Amino acid sequence: MANQSDRKTLMSFIRTNRKIHKWGSIIAALPLLVVIISGILLLVRKEFAYLQPETKVGLEKIPSISFEQIITQVKTVTQANVNSWQDIDRLDVRPNTGVIKVRTNSQWEIQLDSNTADILQVAYRRSDFIESLHDGTYFQDNANLWLMLPSALILLTLLITGLFLFFYPYYKRR
């Protein structure tokens, strides 16, 4: 009699496991698709200037321009729409290439020669948008916690239930 009860319990567990696996995969499908596609684009972003502008090379390797020269030059780029330091997201100083990359809040990247302050390139930077999709912050600043973390936990559950569904028939045959 105990054997019949154990069998019913096992079959109930297997049915529940399949339901968890099925519904978990449906719930995790869209966030996983976004993460996979954006991750692929991030992996190849430096290969395509459309995604991330190519880094130019300046004249000298040692930066010698002032912050005042940087903001003055960046203000001349009309499409970047920079009026003050508040419009700038970050400065990326590359001593190896003699370039200072100025990334604006409007996703424009202005590359300046770190010695002469000449504008080497102005380009729209799409990789930041793709990165925000990848980590979920595009949807909301804390989406990586309330969207991506639960998705990751569901994926972990899918892995565990999927391994059980895969290996159980082999175990049963033994």
pLDDT digit string (tens) for 102-147? Answer: 999 999 999 999 999 999 999 998 888 898 888 888 888 887 778 7
Domain 50-129: CATH class, spelled out: alpha beta
SS3 content of the chain, % helix, strand, coil (to 5): 55, 15, 30
pLDDT digit string (tens) for 1-30? Answer: 557 777 788 788 888 888 888 888 888 888
CA distances from 122 to 73, 131, 169 (A): 11, 20, 59
Pull the structure tokens for residue 2. Answer: 């105990």
pTM score: 0.68
pLDDT of residue 2: 57
The average confidence (pLDDT) of the chain is 87
Domain ranges of the chain: 50-129, 136-174
Pull the structure tokens for residue 90. Answer: 């970050």
* Nearest CA among 5, 2, 20, 9 for reference residue 164: 20
Q: What is the mean pLDDT of residues 158-168?
A: 87
Residue 11 CA to residue 19 CA, distance in Å, equals 12
